[in-house]
Structure 1
Amino acid sequence: MKHGRAPLPQARPAPAPMDPSGRVVQSLGVKLRSAVALHQQGQLDQAEVLYKEILQAQPRHFDALQLLATMAVQRNHAAEAIVLFELALKIHPANASVLSNRGSALLKLNRPQEALDSCDRALLVRPDYAEALSNRGAALRALNRHAEALDSYDRALRLRPAYAQALNNRGAALQDLNRHAEALENFGRALQVQPDHAEAHVNEALCRLILGDFAGGWAKYEWRWKKEPGLSAARNFSQPLWLGKEQLQGKTILLHAEQGLGDTLQFCRYVRQVAALGARVVLEVQPALKTLLQDL
C-alpha cells in the first residue's frame, strides 16, 4: 500500500570492453537486450541468468547491476537489491533511477528515513522525476508525515497526470488523513488509468469497508490475491473458491487461515454459520491457535 514496483530502467549501451576486437561488446550487448526483453515479459528466472552471465564477464557492468537490482525489488528481495544498487552507485553515484529505486528497496526493509534521503538525492539530480517523487511520498507516509507525502504525490501528478501508482498512493495518503471520499476518488482515477492495478483495488476495498460499504468492500477485497505479497500467499486448490453463492448442503468446505492470528480470531466466529448451511466444515488455523479453536 505504501509504494509500487520499481520501474524497469532503460538499458544503456554496454560499456567498452578490454577486448579490442569488439567481439565482447557485441556478445554482451546482444545478451543484455535479450535479458531486458525477458525481464519485460516477466520471465525473471531466464533474465536473471543472463544478467549474471554479463556480470561474470564484466563485474562493473552498470546496466546489468541496476536491472538485476530492480528485479530483486520486484521479487521482494530488498536486501539483495540494496547490495546491487550500492555497487551500481559506485560506478555512477548520481544516477537518479538507481537512487529512486534504492529508496523503494529501503522502504521495503522498513528504513523510511534512508529511503527518503535516497529519493531526495535522486531529485537533486533530476527534479522532474515523477517516480522519485512518488517513492518520496511513500517514505514520508511511513514516517507519518502525511501532509508532506500528499504534496510529493501532487508534484508527481503535475508532471504525469495519468500516473496510476501516484494516484493510488495519493489516495492512501488521503485515507491516512481520514479524507475517505477524496481517497475513493483517487483510487477510481488510478483504476481508470490502469484497470488491473491490484493495489488500487485493495486500497479501495479497505476504504469502502471503513465507510461501511461492506458489499462493495468485500467484493473488491478479492483483488488481494493479485497483489504482492498476496500472490506468494495464494493457495492454489483444485476445488473452486466459495464466495457464498453455491449451496453447501451435504458438501465439505475448507475454511483456512489467511493472514495474522488476530484475523483468525476475528473471523472464526463464522465457522458455525457456515456449518449451519449444511456443510461439513474443515477448519485450518495457525498451529498456535489449534488448541484454542479445536472445539469450534
Structure 2
Amino acid sequence: MHKKKTQARLAVTGNSINSDSQATELLQQALALHQSGQLPEAEAIYLQILSINARHFEALQFLGMIKRGKGELQQALDLMASAAAINPAHVIIHASIGNVLLDLERHAEAIASYDHFLVSMPDFAEVLNNKGNALSALRREAEALACYTQALQKQPDFPDAYFNRGNLYLDMGKYQLAIQDYEQVLKANASHFQAWNNRGNALLKLEKLQEAFQSYQQGLSIAPDNPELQGCLANLYKITGHLNEAVQHYSKVLALPTTGFPRQNAALQLAILHYVFGSPEHVEALLHEAKSMLTNQLIKDQGSLIYCVFMLKILQWWQAYRQQVDTPQAQGVLYVIGESHMLSAHNLVLAYGGQHLQCKGLWIEGCTQWRAGHVSSNHYQQALINYLLALPEASSVFITIGEIDCRIDGGIYKASKKSADISLEQRVHDTIAAYLNVVATQARARKLKVIVSGVPAHNLDESALTQAEFQQFGRFLSLFNTSLKQQAMQMGMDFLDVFTLTDNGAGKSNQQWHIDAHHLRPDGILQAFSHHLITS
C-alpha cells in the first residue's frame, strides 16, 4: 500500500533576485531550464550561482528541489534549511522542507514544517494531504483523517487525498469507507492500479472474494509487473484453495526485479506452501530470501514476521532432530488442520490409536474459532469445511485452531475488555460451541475421529504489563482450555491438553516446549500426545 505525496504547486519564480546582475541573468537561465525539465543543466547553473553568492535564496531552494527529485534527500534538506534560514518568512520553503522530512521518515519534524506553512496558508490542500501522511505514519489516525478530510473539502477533485484517506480507513478496519474513497480515485483515474489493488484488499476483508479478484485483475491489466498486485492475487488464490495458481503468482513476484516486502513475503508464502503441500527441498532457499524482512523496520504486517521467525525455527529444529532421532515407520496418516500451529505437527510421526501416524498439514492461514463458527459464511470456515469433507472416510484428524482467539491483544480477551454485554465465561463458551458444532457436523458426515488441540500457556514478555494483568490473562487461558476440553469431549472428540504441558501454574509458559512467543516446538507435540492426550 502506497501513500501518495504531493508536491505543493510551487511557482518557479525569482521574487528575491540578488542585485548582482550576473546571478540574476544566470537565475533566469536556470529557471527556464528547470521549467522545461532540463534538470542537470539547471542544477549546474544553480551551483554556479551559489559559487557567486552562497546565500542566494532561490538557487538554494530550487537546487534543493532537484536534489529531492534525485533522491539525494539529506543534501536537499541541507539546501532548503539554508534557504529557510535566509528568508524564514517565505512560507513555501517550509512546505518543501516538510516534504523532504516526510521522505526521510522524520514524521514529527515534517508535521512541524507543514504547520509552519499552514499558519499562513491553512487551506492548501496538498500540504494538508502530506501532513495527513506524516500523522498516519505516526498512527495518529484521528488527526490524519481530519487532515485528509479538510484537504478534500478545500479541493474535492483531489485523488491523492482520497487514496491516502482510503488507505487510512483500510488500516482502521473501516473497509466500506475505504472502498468508497478508492472508487473516487478510480472515477478520476481508472488506470490507478494501486487503487485497484487496495480496493481489492478492502473487498477481501469484507469477504467479497469475487469482487476482490476482479479488482486485482483490473489492476494487473494496467500494471502486470506490479509485485504488490501479483502478491495480493496470489494470496486470494491461496486462501480459496487454488494452490497451484497461488504458487504461480508468488513465483512471478520473485521473477520481477523488485526488493522489499512484496518480494520477501512472496518468498515466505512459497516456503510455507512448499513445506506443507509441495517441494520441501525448496524451503531453505526461500526462507533465506524471506528472512531479510526481519530487519525491515517499515513492515506493518506482524503476522508475516511471526510466520518468518517460526518457519526459520521449525527448519532449524528439523535439521537437528533428523541427526539425532530415527523416525519410526508410519502406518497411516493423521491429518492436521489449522493455522500456524499446524506447522509444528506437520511431518511428525507420532503414536495415536495404536498406530504410528505421519502428520499431514492442511493450512488455513489466520483461522480462528470465532471465524470458523461464525453464522456468516467466510473463507476460513469454508476452507475448514472443505478440508474435513475431502478427507478419506473414518480418518483421524487433529485440529489446531484457537490460539489466535486467545491473544492478550486480540480475540476473545480483547473483545471482553471492550464490551461487557456478556460475561467472559459466556463469550468463551459460545465461541467454542459454535466452532465445535461446525467441526462435529462435518466429522459425522465423514465418520472422522477428531482430536482438538488446546491452547498453550502464554510465553509473553511480562515487562509490558503488570503482574496482575498477566495473572488475569493466565486465568482466562485456563478458563478457555477447560471449556474447550469439556465441550470437545461431550461431542465425542479427543482433547490434546497442551496447556497443562506448557503451564508453569499461572498460565505462563514453563519454558520447556515453546519455540517462540506463540508456538510449540514439534517435540512439544510429541510430548503432548505421549502424556497429555485425553480420550473421550
- TM-score normalised by structure 1 residue count: 0.72
Return closer, same or farther for 1:192/1:75 CA change in 2, 3 Å cut-off.
Answer: farther
Residue 16 of structure 1 deviates from its aligned partner by 3.8
SS in structure 1 at match of 2:156: coil
- Residue 59 (structure 2) pairs with residue 30 (structure 1): yes
Deviation at 1:192, TM superposition (A): 4.2
Q: Pick one of 244, 251, 262 that aligns with 1:219.
A: 251
**In the alignment, is residue 120 of structure 1 matched against residue 162 of structure 2?**
no
Judged with a 3 Å threshold, the aligned counterparts in structure 2 of structure 1 residues 180 and 49 are, in CA distance, closer, same or farther, namely farther
Q: Which residue of 1 aligns with 2:78?
A: 49
| Alpha carbons of structure 1 residues 266 and 276: separation in structure 2 relative to 1, 3 Å | closer
> Aligned equivalents of 2:5 and 2:219: distance in 1?
17
Q: 1:265 aligns with which of 310, 328, 335?
A: 310
**Cα distance in 2, alignment partners of residues 228 and 55 from structure 1:** 36
Compare 61-70 and 104-113 and name the one that shifted more: 61-70
Structure 1: gaps (5+ residues): 232-242, 279-287
Q: CA deviation at 1:292?
A: 6.3
Among all aligned residue pairs of Structure 1 and Structure 2, give the percentage whose two residues are the same amino acid: 22
Distance in 1 (alpha carbons) for counterparts of 2:153 and 2:101 = 25
CA deviations over 1:91-118 (Å, ceiling 9, x no partner): 2111000111111221111122221111
The C-alpha deviation readout for 1:208-250, integer Å capped at 9, x for no partner, is: 433343413543565897347999xxxxxxxxxxx9888x9xx
Letter in 2 for 1:219: S
Does the Cα contact within 8 Å between 2:230 and 2:249 map onto a contact in 1? no
- Measured at CA, do residues 164 and 109 of structure 1 come closer, stay the same or move farther in structure 2, by a change above 3 Å? same
Counterpart of 2:71 in 1: which secondary structure?
A: coil
Measured against aligned partners, the alpha-carbon deviations of 1:186-219 in whole angstroms (never above 9, x if no partner) come to 3343344445644434434443433343413543
CA gap 1:77/1:228 in 2 versus in 1, 3 angstroms: farther
C-alpha distance 111-217 of structure 1, shift in aligned 2 (>3 A): farther
Q: 1:138 to 1:88 in 2, by over 3 A?
A: same
1:270 corresponds to which letter in structure 2?
A: L
Shift of 1:174: 1.4
* Larger Cα-atom Rg: 2
Structure 2 distance, partners of 1:143, 1:254, is 30
**Does the alignment pair 1:88 with 2:87?**
no
Pairs within 5 Å for 1:192-231? 192-194=221-223, 197-212=226-241, 213=243, 214-216=246-248, 218-219=250-251, 222=254, 226-227=259-260
1:123 and 1:133 in contact (8 A); partners too: yes
Give, as a single letter, the amino acid of the residue that structure 2 aligns with 1:269: I
Give 1:130 deviation, angstroms: 0.6
1:77 has 2:106 as partner: yes
Query: 1:149 offset after TM fit, Å?
Result: 1.3
Structure with bigger RCO (C-alpha 8 Å, 6+ apart): 1
Which of 129, 132, 149 is 1:103 aligned to? Answer: 132
Deviates more, 1:181-190 or 1:119-128: 181-190
Does the Cα contact within 8 Å between 2:95 and 2:117 map onto a contact in 1?
yes
Residue-pair matches, total: 270
Matches of 1:81 and 1:72 in 2, distance apart? 5
Aligned to 1:180: 209
| 1:238-267 superposed Cα distances (whole Å, 9 cap, x missing partner) | xxxxx9888x9xxxx899574467321255
> What is the alpha-carbon distance in structure 2 between the residues aligned to residue 75 and residue 194 of structure 1?
27
Q: Give the Å deviation of 1:136.
A: 1.6
| CA shift in 2, pair 1:207/1:161, >3 Å | same
TM-score of the superposed pair, with normalisation by structure 2:
0.43
**99-108 vs 13-22, which moves further:** 13-22
Please state how far the C-alpha of 1:147 moved relative to its aligned partner: 0.9
Task: Report the 3-state secondary structure (helix = DSSP H, G, I; strand = E; otherwise coil) of the residue aligned with 1:110.
Answer: coil
Determine which of 163, 166, 183 is the counterpart of 2:192: 163
CA distance in 1, matches of 2:252, 2:263: 14
Aligned to 2:437: none
Query: Aligned equivalents of 1:6 and 1:34: distance in 2?
Result: 20
